[in-house]
Structure 1
Amino acid sequence: MNNLPAQLKQLRAKRAVTQDQVADAIQVSGSLIAAFETNRLIPKPDTAKALDGYFETGEEVQKAASEARKNRRPAPSWFLPWEKVEETASTLRYFQGTLIPGLLQTEAYAREVFARTGLHTDEKVASEVALRMERQAAILDREDRPTFIFILDAATLHCGPPEIAKEQLLHLADVGARPNIFIHVVPAYAALHGGRSGSISLANIEGGSMVGLLEDFFEDRVEVEPARVSSMDRLWHAIAAVALPCDQSRDLILRLVDDHDDSAADLA
């Protein structure tokens, strides 16, 4: 049995502090402390260490958290936010029809995307770009690297100012050379295809189950309802059926790089 939630509640009561006060002290959110105390989440090692430091409990919380992780069944997929899914999935698949996926964006491209919304201050743009770069490093460079399959509509390869677009194309070719990352392009001549209805993100997680990500203008939602995820999976395969193989996709990307060089030469 996991006694960690009760232990954390007792420690907090003994110190006579609120969840938000504990959260402020170790620089996390109050909702995260609440999740620990209701057994919805187990503190990661660095957070458990911070809790021990705050409560002056040596390694008690760390040991209890370690034991809880050993005994706990995998968390139900409906509970996991997409960030957690990306940190643990064995396979991740994405389709984007309008923009380069966030995990593949260069810093300059990401900055342009956030700046062009017209919704952010310069400070907010800088913050969002930093978070995106941090996420890329955390997911793409995981120790237990998953398989990534990206499908991009050809239209995404033509977005952005020429100097940013060229750098972005070269980055796609570079990242796509990694053995666990596969980048496919749906050519323009594919015309109408299932992906015209929106982006798709799918992940295979521990236990063999699959979850999806539904995105809209304001927020993203992890989708776990089997029928809906199955429909997303079928749609993804329909798009994959009209996409170019990886080597042909890479050739297309590099031809576009050459086109940028030719255009620059013409203007010289």
Structure 2
Amino acid sequence: MANEALRVAMAAKGETVESLAEKVRVDPKTAGRWLTSGRIPHPRTRLAVAEVLDRDAAELWPEPFRRRDLPWFRPWAELEQDAISIRSYQPLLVPGLLQTEGYARAVLATGGLLSAAEVDQIVAGRLERQEILCREEPPQLVVVIDEVVLRRPVAGRAVMAEQLAHLAAMAQREHVQIRVIQAEGPWHTGLAGPFVLARLRDGVEVAYLDNQLRGQMVTDGIDVASLGRRWESVTGEALPCRRSIALIREVAQTWI
């Protein structure tokens, strides 16, 4: 099926298949297929095309964006699907890719800032994202968390026990590593805030930062490199994987 929305957007900007292909660094034949056969490019390419055409990527290719994530989070969720490795540091919460449904629901419902319908929507989107860890060729996931994540009661004891048991189980998978920074350790650079680094199939690395209002995707090479140095710093503070798993299981017993 031809992509009429893309054709109209290109015409409005005076872009040809050849000029668009050059700007987003793909072969003209590849760009031509987006128009004539409705092929959907990789997430990072979709974002690049949308920027050139000054349109929303979801307007040009709505199918991949029919997700239940928050609108501002969807571009990152799309890139996450194309990642071959993901490195996540979280000082306060279990990362979304490793949250149980009960834990995720408790986090989102805290404070009554979201309606029940919004909580349901975001939880569903979060669980959908986790499917990348179960596919035939999953990304390598390396997570560093602070010990306080294991000990702070996000919900009832049963939810916490289930969440920590899930972490220990996921850490047994070959493509998942979970490392813990002990609470007795000194202040470290990671405590300035959470961040995620993702390496895509074409070798490009991107990052994601979260705050109280919304997330921010980082594509500037200098900024991504800076976060890479912070990653090396926080991993240097963390326990090795086996000792981390042992600590997770030890704390899990306190929630039973």
Which TM class, normalised by the smaller chain length? 0.7 to 0.9
Specify the structure having the higher radius of gyration (Cα): 1
- 1:155 to 2:148 alignment: yes
> What's the counterpart of residue 197 of structure 1?
192
Q: Deviations over 1:14-41 (max 9, x none)?
A: xxxxxxxxxxxxxxxxxxx45995488x
1:127 Cα deviation after fit = 2.0
- RMSD, aligned CA: 2.9
1:65 Cα deviation after fit = 3.1
Contact preservation (8 Å) 1:8, 1:37: no
Contact preservation (8 Å) 1:77, 1:224: no
From 233, 249, 260, the equivalent of 2:255 is 260
Q: Secondary structure at the match of 1:116?
A: helix
> What's the counterpart of residue 233 of structure 1?
228
> What's the counterpart of residue 117 of structure 2?
123
Gaps of 5+ in 2: 11-16, 21-32, 52-56, 58-74
| TM-score calculated relative to the size of structure 1 | 0.70
Structure 2: distance between partners of 1:113 and 1:120? 11
Contact preservation (8 Å) 1:201, 1:212: yes
Contact preservation (8 Å) 2:3, 2:38: no
Contact preservation (8 Å) 1:170, 1:257: yes
Q: Deviations over 1:19-73 (max 9, x none)?
A: xxxxxxxxxxxxxx45995488xxxxxxxxxxxxxxxxxxx9997234x86xx9x
Gaps of 5+ in 1: 10-32, 41-59, 262-268
List aligned pairs for 1:56-67, cutoff 5 A: 64-66=37-39
- 1:216 to 2:186 alignment: no
> What's the counterpart of residue 75 of structure 1?
45
Q: Secondary structure at the match of 2:113?
A: coil
1:207 Cα deviation after fit = 2.6
1:220 Cα deviation after fit = 1.3
Distance 1:145 1:62, change over 3 A: farther
Structure 2: distance between partners of 1:35 and 1:164? 50
From 161, 165, 173, the equivalent of 1:170 is 165
Distance 1:223 1:35, change over 3 A: farther
Contact preservation (8 Å) 1:77, 1:211: no
Structure 2: distance between partners of 1:178 and 1:206? 21
- After TM superposition, the runs of 4+ consecutive aligned structure 1 residues lying more than 3 A away are 33-40, 60-63, 76-80
| Number of equivalences | 210
Moved more, 116-125 or 199-208: 116-125
State the AA in 2 paired with 1:249.
Answer: S
Distance 1:255 1:61, change over 3 A: closer
